[in-house]
A = this chain, B = another copy of it.
C-alpha cells in the first residue's frame, strides 16, 4: 500500500522559498501527494527539538504517514540519508539520531541507507538535499516504489541520548529539555512517576503539586502541570514561564516526595 500523507518537518523556516520548493518537487513527481506541515520553525539544526516534536506527533498521524525530516547539520558531508519503518509508519531522515526519542511503539524496526541515485534530481547541489534527494525520494515512495530499491539495510543508525531521570533519597531529579512557543518548559520527568502529594522544584523554588490543568491556579501564578505528551511541564498561567524565570535547557528539576508520617 502506498504511504501518505507526507508529513514535513524541517528547520528551513517559512521566510525563504525552501519549504515551498521541497513541496514543488514532491508534487512535480507525485501530483496527488497529500502534504502536511509538522513544522518548519525549529531553531536551525535543533536535533533535540526535532526529536521531541516527532515523539509527540508521530502517534497521532495516519498509520500510512511518511515523515520527511530535514534537520540536517551535516548536509553535504558524508552523513547518510536513511529510510526507516516502524510498525506502520515510514520515515526519511538524515542519519543524526532524530528518530531516537520516538516512543517504544513507534520506534523504527527496519532501516535502510538511501544510496540509489535513480530518483535524485539531476545536477543537484551539495547544500540542498531537501530539494535534490529527500523530496524526489519521498515522491518515489508515495508513488509506490519499494523501499528495498533505495539501498541496503542498516543496523547502526546514529542515536541521540535521552537524559536519564535519577532517583534520589528525596524523590526524582530530571531536567528541562526544551520550551514551547508559550514559554512552557518541557522536562524529561514522566508525570506518571510523580506521586500524589509530591512537590516539583526548580531553582530552589516550589511549584507545588503536579496539576492537571492551568486553571487550577490563579492567573499569573506558576505551576507544574502534567503536559500533553506525558511529561511534567513548568508553566505560568496566561504567562511565559521561560521569560519569567530565565529558565534554560538543561536546568535541573526535582520532584520531592511527601514526608511519611511516623
Contacts and interface: CB of A to CB of B under 8 A. Distances in A.
A167 interface: no
Given A15-B39, A74-B215, A180-B16, A225 B57 contact: no
Interface in A54-85: 54, 56-57, 60-63, 65, 73-77
B24 A131 contact: no
Contact of A21 (B19, B57, B73, B128): B57
B215 A77 contact: yes
A125 B76 contact: no
Copies held by the complex: 3
B73 A238 contact: yes
Contacts of A35: 36
Nearest to A52: B17
For the residues of A in contact with B, the DSSP-based class is loop
B27 A14 contact: no
Nearest to A79: B215
A28 B88 CA distance: 13
6 contacts: A15-B41, A17-B39, A19-B37, A24-B60, A27-B36, A77-B213
5 closest residue pairs by CB, A with B: A76-B213, A128-B228, A77-B215, A13-B181, A20-B38
